[in-house]
Amino acid sequence: MPAADLLSSQGLRLDGRRPNELRRIRCKLGVFTQPDGSAYLEQGNTKVLAAVYGPHQASKSKMSTEAVVVNCQYSMATFSTGERKNRPRGDRKSQEMSMHLRQALTAAIKTEMYPRSQIDIYIEVLQADGGTYCASVNAASLALIDSGIPLRAYVTACSASLGRQSATHEPLVDVSHIEEAADGVCLTVASLPSTGSIALLEMSNRLHMDHFNIVLTRAMQGCRDIEVILDGAVRQHLAEGWTKQDVITI
Amino acid sequence: MWTTKTFLTKTKRGNILKIVREHYLRDDLLCGSAACNTCPHKDDELVLETSPDSPCALFDFPHYLVLDTNVVLHQIDVLEEDALTNVIILQTVLEEVKHQNTAVFQRLLDIISNKKRKFYSFVNEHHKDTYIERSPGEKQNDRNDRSIRKATSWYEYHLSINSLDGKFPKIILVTDDENNRKLAQEDGIICCSIKDYIENVSGFVGLVDKLSKNVMPETCSKDALYPAHLTPSQIHEGIRCGQLYQGTYHASRENFLEGNASVNGFEKSILLQGHIGINRAIDGDIVAIEIFPKEEWRKPSNIVLEDKTEDPENILEEETVLLDAAKPVDNDDEITPTGKVVGIIRRKWRQYCGILMPSKFHGATRHLFTPAEKRIPRVRIETRQSEILASQRILVALDSWPRNSRYPLGHLVRALGPIGDKDAENEVILLEHDVPHARFSEAVLNCLPPNDWTIPEEERQKRVDLRDVCVCSVDPPGCTDIDDALHARRLGSSDGLATYEVGVHIADVTYFVKPDTALDKEAASRSTTVYLVDRRIDMVPELLSSNLCSLRGGEERLAFSCVWEMDENANVLSTKFHKSIIKSKAAMTYEEAQIAIDDSSRKDEIAKSLRVLNKLAKKLKKKRLDSGALLLASPEIRFQVDSETHDPIEVQAKKIVDTNSMVEEFMLLANTSVAQKILEEFPQCAMLRRHPAPPPANFDTFLKAARQQGFEIDVSTNKSFSKSLNEAVIPERPFFNTLLRIMATRCMQQAAYFVSGSLAADHYYHYGLACPIYTHFTSPIRRYADVVVHRLLAASVAGAGPHAALLDARRQAALADTLNYRHRHAQLAGRASVALNTHILFKNRVEIESAVVLAVKRNALQVLIPKYGLEGPLYLPSEKFTYNEEEHVQKCGDVVLKTFDELTVRLSLDSSNLQHRKLVFELVEPHVPGFSYVPDAGNMEVDDVADTAAPSSEKTHKKREIPAAAAPKPSKKRKSRRK
């Protein structure tokens, strides 16, 4: 249900955004030298690092003869939330996140290219301010591109909620922590915007059927907007001389 | 598109937590002024005029106003006048107001949304040029003030750079904060206080009267009458370490120097006495209380005391009367914890109706205002229109209560009309009970179907056609909003018992009132139709309530039907619900229906079906009573109203015939059936009604009184209670049993709406009806709860998906709270209206009537006149009567007065106090020498009374005749049907 007070009477959200505006996204590819691909992404105050290793030979137990095995590990730094976290990884929430990340990323990777191999993706949340899943998917997407693993398309994720301005319902894109905590609904979508397919759809809280479509549409639009930003970042990264690093190592 | 600067805001909570929030600053926010040509305004976004005329004599140039937070908070009444236009409300102000007072915030939003007022809300907090960061060590308030000044000077600059000819509106900052004004002047901002500004506005009479006289209440230590209140942090600290307690203050109706506060953790509420003990708390306030040590505990004084002083300047009078009466007595079980108010946590002030007290000096501007509600103290107001207002009912808002003032300070909001004028008096009743009674807005009326609406074809397809079934309605005479109709017919037999089909058909209001329309919202906020004696305040517009939804005889109407199959012992064999179309064969009154049943020569279908219904109803009732339902009573009267003046001419007790209870039984059955169905379908969000069992302590005085009459009432369960009530009969006093039931009713808790998910299943019980689960389904025209239930039921039977809000348990729970609040106030308003009319009835009349004692107080008896259902105090002088506290009896010589005693009293109206005109009861029988009224001398005195009442009543008489014709036709509905 739409929580009250998410939209002011002037139509601005709590942090001054309009309902259809994303938070500021800043990102950088190739932040580490050790992994095969890496990226850093900020979505407002949510800050995420992603590192990709592989493809390399898979361990015997996991190996598949048909496709590459994608292995994800999501972890949140102990200092990432307002109150200090005790377990950075391995708790229920992190495990669930890892599984969801794997689902979304597997959908983007051309898995059939590397049978009997394995790709490891490590995600570390440095600061959490809502939408950590979205930021993780987006960062991982960049890291995969940085590593040169063939993808079907960009995979991006975005969340959306529902606010109320006087009588009309207005979907809100890219939900921040205060908006999440306001006990409204939060719909998270991971999609491949260029193909229009949805890789993952998750919703917290109950939302009436009547409102579902507008919220989903807004979230999908958010995914497309993010894709444009990521694409710009990749192109800039390449234009800046992706060779720089390689030149040094050669 | 947008600038992306992030800023960090730190907030601290209980344990220090660093919260970092984003704060986006924008460059696309508009200034809203027509004088600006840089902002890309669309036409409808231009709020402020290019060159507004200055209303104020101080400033002879065009200008806009920027208001400070304290101006909005305190002077909202002034702002609501049309005087000020072209005002800029900054977001800083808006947020501070919202944080401090939601009611004022809502009113401010209403002003902003009114296009004519030209109020523009500017989002300065998110504008890239007006946002400022809090500097280290700066207080939040100072930052906000600075932010307001910043925005003001930005506006000035913004408008000046865009003007080509050097003409642009100036900006004036209106603030009452001296410090802020000084700093603003240093920045080169024109500023002034609201008082200076308003006093120089010409053309608006009475605007100055509305200025709030806000004084910092704790700063006036000179000549202080009251001890200072503790600061919020002291209170917080005190409550935390258990020295202070938080409670809601309730002033006593009878004694203006006494009140109590309900505090968690104390079984009895805390007694507060005297000016110092109450220390400026006003009824409803949330206060901090210090509780005295046990030896200083007292008991409620149990005397009736009124503030009689004639405008004393600021002196507190002697309180010895009160304190003497309350001297502690050893081993008294009535001793209650006593304490004093040491601070106010939150004021719960609203606007109060009342009248001005006549002033001693001609032309004085300071006046005392007496509220109609006895629990509110008098208020000191300033007005220059006292001559006009003296004969008017007025509405006053409270501003502050400084330590050196005996009374709180307030200001005039508006005049309601002449005292004694029926419309003005009704307005007072409606305002005092917070009943929304404005005309339906355009938006609401636009939701209505056309006047000549007929049932469309596609509805006929969807609904069950019951037009050929013999359906009829039974209601009180003069009822125009008929929301239920019945039918019954013989089906056949099973197991040797005859079976019947019985249907209850309820007006299908939800067909017309679609969710989330303006009509629906209005109905939800009204929640119920309010019945005054001569006026009905409808929940839905008249077209629906008296025509399209009303199940009138001979017309095709949409209905929601609940149809049972029953055997002749009234056992329900099956139940079904469906929407239908019916055509009522007859709309009857209770008496007509009764005659049709009794007249054995009538063999038509209607009479037959009524007889079946009546027979089954009796069986249903018996079953219900056997399971423990209570039969309670309350004195109900009907006024016969003069058709011309709408003045009451006679009173009679309501007549109850068999058919009343016949309709009632089937409505109860329908309500319970529906409750079961919707709970089954929506376990989390079904709207139900519960009636909690009263706590045993409620019965104490009742049981004592019954014991004095020789009856032992068992109140352990509703079944035993009902049984012992039935047995408590005195053959020679037929009214005694009814009286007992009236008193029992007063021991009961209020029934309330709730949402099923919010309580455990064992709390669903309805004590009065002895019914495990109950709801309201049968009166959707006059109750909003029924509308909700209709929607739930429609969703569960027709498979039409439920509307979104219907499943929102939180919203439903909030709605249930509103419904309860409105419902209670509607009842109180109805009673107040009855009291008003009783007073009018007794204006020139004196009667001697028999009465019964309901309660014995220290200096009075509470008596009830059964004939009129009137209740009031009969004062007993303490020099003649002695009060026995143990037994609750008053003695004088050999005359002993106790509860349930029958008396004869003389009734007359005391109009000496216009505000509280009250009925005076005087004892006639039993005779007490020197006190009782002797009827023989009566004739003279009757004239006397009539004479003294004449001056005021004559005046009001003349005035009444003019507007009375405009009042809508009265329609009394049964209200007692369900508790």
> Is A15 close to B24, i.e. CB distance below 8 A?
yes
Residue B977 has pLDDT above 50, yes or no: no
Average pLDDT of every residue of chain A: 88
Rounded distance between C-alpha atoms, residue B846 and residue B91, angstroms:
62
Which span out of A34-48, A229-243, B275-289, B364-378 was modeled with the highest average pLDDT? A34-48
Report pLDDT for B156. 86
Both tokens of B327, joined, read 């001297």
Q: Give residue-wise pLDDT tens across range B661-699.
A: 888 889 999 999 999 999 988 888 889 999 988 888 778
Q: Is the pLDDT of residue B216 over 80?
A: no
> Which helix H or strand E contains B338, and what residues bound it?
strand B338-346
The pLDDT assigned to B506 comes to 93
Q: What is the pLDDT of residue B20?
A: 78
Q: What is the token pair recorded at B333?
A: 């079980």
Q: In this structure, how many other beta carbons lie within 10 angstroms of the beta carbon of residue A173?
A: 25
Q: Which of A22, A27, A24 is nearest to A41 (CA)?
A: A27
Q: How far apart are CA B907 and CA B845, in angstroms?
A: 8
To the nearest whole number, what is the mean pLDDT of chain B? 79
Determine contact, residues B960/B966, Cβ cutoff 8 Å: no
What is the average per-residue pLDDT within B553-582?
Answer: 90
How does residue B10 score in pLDDT terms, banded at 50, 70 and 90? Answer: low
User: pLDDT band for position B337 (50/70/90)?
Assistant: confident
Amino acid B308: pLDDT = 60
pLDDT at A104: 95
In chain B, whose CA is at the least distance from the CA of A17?
B24
Q: Is B64 a residue whose pLDDT tops 80?
A: yes
Alpha-carbon Rg for chain B in angstroms: 32
For position B895, what pLDDT does the model report?
Answer: 78
If pLDDT is split at 50, 70 and 90, which confidence band does B943 have? very low
Residue B900 and residue B702 in contact, taking contact as beta carbons nearer than 8 Å: no
Nearest residue in chain A measured CA to CA from B521: A167
Q: Which pLDDT band, with edges at 50, 70 and 90, does B900 fall under?
A: confident
What is residue A155's predicted lDDT score, i.e. its pLDDT? Answer: 95
- For residue A209, give the nearest of B21, B91, B801 by CB distance: B801
Work out the average pLDDT over B569-587: 90
pLDDT at A246 over 70: no
Residue among A8, A44, A206 whose CB faces B22 most closely: A44
Confidence bin at B309 (pLDDT 50/70/90):
low
Give the count of alpha carbons within 13 A of B600, CB side only: 0
**B821-842, pLDDT tens digit by residue?**
999 999 888 888 888 887 777 7
The predicted structure's pLDDT at residue B659 = 80
> How many residue contacts between A and B have a Cβ separation below 8 Å?
59
- Contacts of residue A7 in chain B, CB cutoff 8 Å? none
Q: Give pLDDT, residue B880.
A: 75
Contact list, B17 vs chain A (CB under 8 Å): 82-83
- Please tell me which residue, B769 or B3, carries the higher pLDDT value: B769
pLDDT at B322 over 60: no
Interchain CB distance below 8 Å, B804 and A129: no
* pLDDT at residue number B952: 37
Strand positions, DSSP E, B516-600: 530-531, 536-537, 556-567, 572-583, 586-589
Which pLDDT score is estimated for B780?
92
Paired strand residues for B393:
B417
Specify the DSSP element, H or E, that contains B61. none
Once rounded to an integer, what is the mean pLDDT over residues B964-977? 38
Contact between A189 and A219 (Cβ < 8 Å): yes
Contact B816, B824 (CB under 8 A): no
Across the interface, whether the CB atoms of A9 and B17 are under 8 A apart is answered no
Checking if the pLDDT of B974 tops 50, the result is no
pLDDT, mean of residues B569-580: 90
Question: How much is the pLDDT for B626?
Answer: 85
Each domain of chain A, given as residue ranges in start order, spans: 25-249
Confidence tier at B320 by pLDDT (50, 70, 90): low
Shortest CA gap A87–chain B (Å): 19
Query: pLDDT per residue over B347-377, tens digit each?
Result: 888 888 888 877 666 667 778 888 888 788 8
pLDDT in tens, B27-48: 888 888 888 777 887 777 777 8
Contacts of B112 in chain A (CB under 8 A): 9
Structure tokens belonging to residue B325: 């009466």
CA distance B64 to B72: 15
> What is the average pLDDT across B266-291?
83
Residues 6+ apart with CB under 8 A from B9: B19, B20, B21, B23
Interface of A with B (CB under 8 A): 1, 8-10, 12, 15-17, 21, 23-24, 44-45, 82-83, 127, 129, 167, 176, 178, 206, 208-211
Full DSSP string of A137-154: HHHHHHHHHHHT--BSS-
For residues B5 and B931, give the distance between their C-alpha atoms in angstroms, rounded to a whole number.
85
pLDDT tens profile A6-57: 888 888 888 888 999 999 999 999 899 899 999 999 998 899 999 999 899 9
- Please report residues of B whose CB lies closer than 8 A to that of A206: 807
- The closest of A67, A46, A182, A209 to B6, measured between CA atoms, is A46
Cross-chain residue pair B121–A9, CB shorter than 8 Å: yes
Give the pLDDT band of residue B652 (cuts 50, 70, 90): low
Each domain of chain B, given as residue ranges in start order, spans: 43-210, 213-418, 442-688+769-830, 693-748, 834-965
Contacts of A211 in chain B (CB under 8 A): 804
- Residue A35 is predicted with a pLDDT of 92
CA distance B824 to chain A (A): 27
pLDDT in tens, B700-732: 878 887 887 778 888 888 888 888 888 888 877
Mean pLDDT of B141-168: 84
DSSP reduced 3-state for A169 = strand
**Residue B466 confidence (pLDDT) above 80:** yes
Identify the pLDDT of residue B218.
Answer: 56
What pLDDT score does A102 carry? 95
Give the pLDDT of residue A131: 92
| pLDDT given for residue B332 in this prediction | 57
Domain B213-418 has CATH 2.40.50.690: yes
Strands B392-400 and B918-925: unpaired
Same fold, B213-418 and B834-965: yes
Q: Least CA distance to B810: which residue of chain A?
A: A1
Chosen from A5, A20, A24 to mutate, greatest number of chain B CBs within 10 A: A24
CATH homologous superfamily for the domain A25-249: GHMP Kinase, N-terminal domain (3.30.230.70)
CB-nearest to A17 from B24, B125, B516 is: B24
Q: How far apart are CA A145 and CA A151, in angstroms?
A: 8
> Which residues from chain A sit within 8 angstroms of residue B109, using beta carbons?
9
Which class for B12: exposed (0-12), middle (13-18), buried (19 or more C-beta within 10 A)?
A: exposed
What pairing do the DSSP bridges indicate for beta strands B119-122 and B889-892? unpaired
How does residue A173 score in pLDDT terms, banded at 50, 70 and 90? very high
Partner-chain contact B6 A9, CB within 8 Å: no
Q: How confident is the model at residue A221 (pLDDT cuts 50, 70, 90)?
A: very high
pLDDT at residue B581, rounded to an integer: 92
Contact B811 A1 (CB under 8 A): yes
Our CA angle for B765, B767, B768, nearest 5°, is 135
Q: For domain B834-965, give the fold.
A: OB fold (Dihydrolipoamide Acetyltransferase, E2P) (2.40.50)
**Nearest to B807, CA basis, from A125, A78, A21, A206:** A206
- Do residue A82 and residue B1 have CB atoms under 8 angstroms apart? no
The answer to whether the CB atoms of A21 and B1 lie below 8 A apart is yes
Instruction: Name chain B contacts of A128, Cβ cutoff 8 Å.
Output: none
Evaluate if residue B763 carries a pLDDT over 80.
yes
The per-residue pLDDT for B965 is: 34
Per CATH, the architecture of B43-210 is what? 3-Layer(aba) Sandwich (3.40)
Mutate to test the interface with A, among B24, B97, B520, B685 (most CBs of A within 10 A): B24
Distance in Å, alpha carbon of B841 to nearest chain A alpha carbon: 47
